[in-house]
């Protein structure tokens, strides 16, 4: 097996107020931290998608940017880690949990997850319809690991949007399993997240 990596660093950063991948965390641009993570995890090639040095242009949706990155992987790369530049605190032990599970070779995708902390309500406007059983829910993180063939097939078969790549595999009947994520693997979505991430680092 040959492991590659894709760091998605495109997008408009509408909630952040502008492009966020070049923003520094701990003195290093977030996208570079993603590259270092995937290289340390054993990726022989890391494709960066986004308007950063050495990056290739992204797509309209996150899933389009991932597809662009996967298409740029070298022949022979048969497993891939897909990581959001917006998660600058993902660490080596998290990535290795994903890789080790992927290497067992019996699944199409591996997703790191953490328990949902808040009580989750289903709404109809302002009205609460129900409270969802939290014990069966998990919040998904990146890096996520994939068999490249399964990911490419799911991307080709399903054009609808998806908030992560594992969702495409799920919808196409593939096997997606989880490993423990890291509550400290925070995502930078809003400007105030930057201070939280720096404090956590
Ligand atoms: N991303 C991407 N291409 C897109 C959209 C998102 O590569 N068309 C990447 C972002 O760079 C980020 C990750 O996907 O690392 C998660 O996306 P998100 O946090 O939603 O970033 P944006 O889409 O840029 O932000 P927003 O949704 O607030 O506009
Ligand atoms: Mg987005």
Residue 120's DSSP bridge partners are 132
What integer is the mean pLDDT of 54-68? 97
Ligand 1 neighbour 82 (Cβ under 6 A): no
65 lines ligand 1 (CB under 6 A): yes
**How high is the pLDDT of residue 103?**
95
d(CA 175, CA 85): 25
What pLDDT score was predicted for residue 142? 98
Q: What is the whole-number distance in angstroms between the Cα of residue 190 and the centre of ligand 1? A: 12
Residue 201 has pLDDT above 90, yes or no: no
CA 134 to ligand 1 center in whole angstroms: 26
Please give the distance, rounded to the nearest whole angstrom, from the Cα atom of residue 9 to the centre of ligand 1: 7
Dihedral sign computed on CA atoms, order 164, 167, 169, 174: positive
Q: Does domain 3-112+138-200 have CATH number 3.90.550.10?
A: yes
Amino acid 43: pLDDT: 98
CA distances for 97 relative to 16, 46, 92, 146, angstroms: 30, 19, 9, 13
User: Could you tell me the residue ranges of all domains in the chain?
Assistant: 3-112+138-200
């Amino acid at each position: 097996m040959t492991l590659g990596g894709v760091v998605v660093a495109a997008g408009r950063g509408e909630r952040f107020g502008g492009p966020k991948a070049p923003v520094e965390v701990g003195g290093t641009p977030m996208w570079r931290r993603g590259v270092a993570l995937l290289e340390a995890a054993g990726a022989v090639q890391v494709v960066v998608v986004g308007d950063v040095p050495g990056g290739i242009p992204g797509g309209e949706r996150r899933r389009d940017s991932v597809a662009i990155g996967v298409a740029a992987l070298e022949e022979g790369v048969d497993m891939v880690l897909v990581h959001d530049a917006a998660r600058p605190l993902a660490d080596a032990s998290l990535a290795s949990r994903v890789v080790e599970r992927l290497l067992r070779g019996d699944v199409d995708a591996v997703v790191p997850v953490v328990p949902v902390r808040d009580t989750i309500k289903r709404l109809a406007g302002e009205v609460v319809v129900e409270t969802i059983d939290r014990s069966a829910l998990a919040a998904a993180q990146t890096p996520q690991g994939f068999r490249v063939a399964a990911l490419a097939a799911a991307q080709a078969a399903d054009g609808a949007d998806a908030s992560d790549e594992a969702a495409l595999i799920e919808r196409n009947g593939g096997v997606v399993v989880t490993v423990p994520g890291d509550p400290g693997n925070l995502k930078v979505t809003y400007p105030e997240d930057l201070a939280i991430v720096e404090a956590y680092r």
